[in-house]
Amino acid sequence: MKLYFSRNLNPRVAVAVARHLAAPVDYVHAAPLDPSQQEKFRALNPNLRVPILVEGDQSLWETDAIACRLSQLTGSDFWRTGTAQPEMIRWLSWGTHNFIAACDKVHFERVTKQRYGLGPIRDDLVAEGLSGFAEAATLSPGSTPSLEEVSSAERAPRRELIVSSRPRREGRRDRSAS
C-alpha cells in the first residue's frame, strides 16, 4: 500500500494519521501537478491532488477518507464509530470552517509573509488568529486520540503557544500535559 503525499497541509495530516496508526504504508513524496507526472496521477485522482492512498488497484483520496480507511485496516478506534461518530464528525466539520481560519491568519503572518518577503508581521492579525484558538484548540473526549485531534494538532502553527494560552473546557481532555 502506498500513501502519496506532499508538504502541504492535508497530505501532512494523512501522514500523521498513518504514522500514529502504524499503518503498513510506503510513504511516497509526490508532485502530481508536475507536467511529467500528471498522467500517472490523473489515473489515481482526477483532481491531481494528494494525499492519495493506493491499495492494490484501488485509489482513495481526501484526508478524512484515508484516515477512515487506515483506521479500518489497523483495527483502531481512531475513526470513531457508533454513537461517538457524530461527535467526531461535528468537530471535524467545525474545525474545517473555524479552526483552519484561525490557523491561516497566524501561518500567513508568521510563515508565508516571512518566507516570501511580503512585509512585516502584523501583530494585530496574529492576535486575532490566536484568539480563535481559545475555543478551537480543544480536544475531543475519549481515552484514545481520534482524527479530529490529530488533524487539529497538525494544522496548528506553533501549537505549544496555543495550548498554553487557551482555557480548558469542561469535559475536554488536555493532551498537552501528557
pTM: 0.68
pLDDT tens across 27-43, in order? 999 999 999 999 999 99
User: Looking at residue 116, what is its pLDDT?
Assistant: 85
Rounded Cα distance between 52 and 126, Å, is: 33
What domain count does the chain have?
2
Same domain, 48 and 98: no
Containing structural domain, residue 150: 82-177
- Per-residue pLDDT at 137 exceeds 60: no
pLDDT tens across 94-114, in order? 777 777 777 788 888 888 888
- Per-residue pLDDT at 23 exceeds 60: yes
Same domain, 86 and 169: yes
Report the amino acid identity of residue 131: S
Of the candidates 28, 22, 29, 27, the residue with the CA atom closest to the CA atom of residue 7: 29
- Helices 9-21 and 63-74, interaxial angle, to 10°? 10
User: Looking at residue 146, what is its pLDDT?
Assistant: 62
Same domain, 54 and 97: no
- The H or E element that residue 81 is part of is none
Share of the chain above pLDDT 70, in %: 74
User: Looking at residue 150, what is its pLDDT?
Assistant: 60
- Per-residue pLDDT at 168 exceeds 60: no
